[in-house]
A = this chain, B = another copy of it.
Amino acid sequence: MKYFTVSAHKGDYTVFFDTGFTFFNSIKQKKGIWIVDRAVSRLYEELFDDIDPNDIIFVDVSEELKTLEGATMLYRQLEKKKMKRHTPLISVGGGITQDITGFVAATWYRGVPWFYVPTTLLAQADSCIGSKTSLNFDSFKNLLGTFYSPQEVFISTKFLDSLDPKDVYSGFGEIIKLQLIKAQEHGDFQTVTDKLNMGKQADGLLQLIYDSLLVKKEYIEEDEFDFGKRKLLNYGHCFGHALESVSAFTIPHGLAVVIGVLFANIIALKRKKISQEFFETLITEVLLPHIHMDVLEMQESFYGADALFQKMKKDKKRSGDGMALVLPKKDFKLELVQDISMEELQYGCRELEKVLL
A residues neighboring B (CB under 8 Å): 9-10, 68, 71-72, 75-76, 79, 84-86, 106-111, 132-135, 137-138, 140, 143-147, 225-226, 316-319
Complex-state Cα separation, A137 to B76, whole angstroms: 9
A33 to B325, CA, bound (A): 27
Contact partners of A319 in chain B: CB under 8 A = 84-86
Shortest C-beta distance, A70 to chain B (Å), equals 11
Tell me whether A85 and B140 are in contact (CB under 8 A): no
**14 A-B pairs (CB sep. < 8 Å):** A9-B10, A68-B68, A75-B143, A76-B138, A79-B138, A79-B143, A85-B318, A85-B319, A107-B107, A107-B146, A109-B143, A110-B134, A111-B146, A146-B146
Beyond A106-B146, A107-B107, A111-B225, 6 extra complex contacts between A and B, CB < 8 Å: A9-B10, A76-B138, A79-B143, A110-B132, A110-B146, A111-B147
Give the complex CA separation of A318 and B135 in angstroms.
30
Name A107's contact: one of B132, B144, B317, B318 (CB within 8 Å).
Answer: B144
A171 to chain B, nearest CB (A): 23
Cα-based distance from A71 to B79 in the complex (angstroms):
20
Quickly give the copy total for this chain: 2
Ranked 10 nearest A-B pairs via Cβ:
A110-B145, A107-B144, A85-B316, A9-B9, A109-B316, A68-B68, A75-B137, A110-B146, A107-B146, A110-B147
Nearest opposing residue in chain B for A71, CB measure: B68
Residue among A86, A107, A134, A140 with max Cβ neighbours from chain B (10 Å):
A107
Please name all residues of chain B whose beta carbon is closer than 8 Å to the beta carbon of A144 when the two chains form the complex: 75, 107-108, 110
CA distance A79 to B144 in the complex (A): 11
CB neighbours of A108 from chain B (8 A)? 143-144
Minimum C-beta distance from A146 to chain B (A): 6
Query: With A and B bound together, what is the CA distance between A140 and B76 in angstroms?
Result: 11
B140 touches A79 (CB 8 A): yes
A312 shortest CB reach to chain B, Å: 14
A42, chain B: closest CB distance, angstroms: 31
Specify which chain B residues have a CB less than 8 angstroms from the CB of A107 in the assembled complex. 107, 135, 144-146
Q: How far is the CA of A318 from the CA of B318 in the complex (A)?
A: 45
A130 CB, min distance to chain B CBs, angstroms? 11
A108 CA to B134 CA in the complex, in Å?
10
Measured in the bound complex, the distance between the Cα atoms of B111 and A3 in whole Å is 30
Determine the chain B residues whose CB is within 8 A of the CB of A106 once the complex forms: 146
Instruction: Looking at the assembled complex, report how far the CB atom of A197 sits from the nearest CB atom of chain B, in whole angstroms.
Output: 36
Shortest beta-carbon distance from A43 to chain B in Å: 32
A86: chain B residues at CB < 8 Å are 319
* A85 near B317: Cβ-Cβ < 8 Å: yes
- Separation of A110 and B144 alpha carbons in the complex (Å): 6
- Nearest B residue to A87 via CB reads B319
Complex: how many Å from CA A229 to CA B107? 22
Cα–Cα, bound, A145→B106 (Å) = 8
Q: What's the Cα separation between A318 and B144 when bound, in Å? A: 30
